[in-house]
Amino acid sequence: MGCQKEIAQGILDRGAEYVLAVKQNQGRLHEDLKDLFEEAQATGFEGVPHDYATTLNQNHGRQERRECWAISDPDCLEYLSTGREWPGLRSVVKVVGRREAETGITVQPRYFISSLDASAEQLLATVRAHWSIENSLHWSLDVTFREDQCRVRKDHGPQDMATLRNISHNLLKLETSLKVGIQGKRLHAGRRQDYLLKALRS
């Protein structure tokens, strides 16, 4: 949802830079990125200026390796059929996450576009920071609001409910007088109208 030209332009207009995940629903852009990196890797990146970085983490019986390839060469960016339509586009990125655990091995490639002409190491760090925020928020919403169990499917219902959950989560996070977790604050707000009003004013 966040990989939109209007969002990219809005970020640049505010003096910031973007690193946007490109999902399969982006159609042509996703296919172009996949083809570009697959062809480059098939030839060992011969004639394709690029940067590379990797990280390795081990914890709780799990080993996670992340590899990142970044291409900022203007000639390579011309390979993207919709590249010129993206404001400030300066680099494309492929990140492959490989996780080894007792349950098996999973390998997941992800693609990104960015207005940064940065090193693969910096881009990988940016992507990882975004993942940690996203995973933390999703976990909190699922535990506190049972987001994954929501059966609202019709029309704009899913987006509306997600918006209400995010607003509620943020309000409860901002309210600091009650020294309990988000779930405890939510339960308290459901039982005490004075606390509910206090949270809404936070």
Instruction: Give the helix/strand (H/E) hosting 106.
Output: strand 104-114
Residue 66, strand partner residues: 55, 97
pLDDT recorded at residue 179:
81
SS3 114: strand
- Output 4 or 152, whichever has higher pLDDT: 4
Question: What digits encode the pLDDT tens for the residues 150-200?
Answer: 777 778 777 788 787 878 877 887 888 888 877 788 888 888 888 888 888
Q: How far apart are CA 103 and CA 61, in angstroms?
A: 11
Q: What is the 3-state secondary structure (H, E, C) of 128-183?
A: HHHHHHHHHHHHHHHHHHCHHHCCCCCCCHHHHHHHHHHHHHHHHHHCCCCCCCHH
Arithmetic mean of pLDDT, 20-45: 91
Q: How many CA atoms lie within 13 A of 158 on its CB side?
A: 7
Residue 94, strand partner residues: 69, 111
Q: How far apart are CA 159 and CA 179, in angstroms?
A: 30
Place of tokens 């899913």: 158
pTM of the model: 0.65
Question: What digits encode the pLDDT tens for the residues 97-109?
Answer: 888 877 788 888 9
pLDDT recorded at residue 200:
82
SS3 33: helix
Instruction: Give the helix/strand (H/E) hosting 67.
Output: strand 62-71
pLDDT band at 12 (very low <50, low <70, confident <90, very high): very high
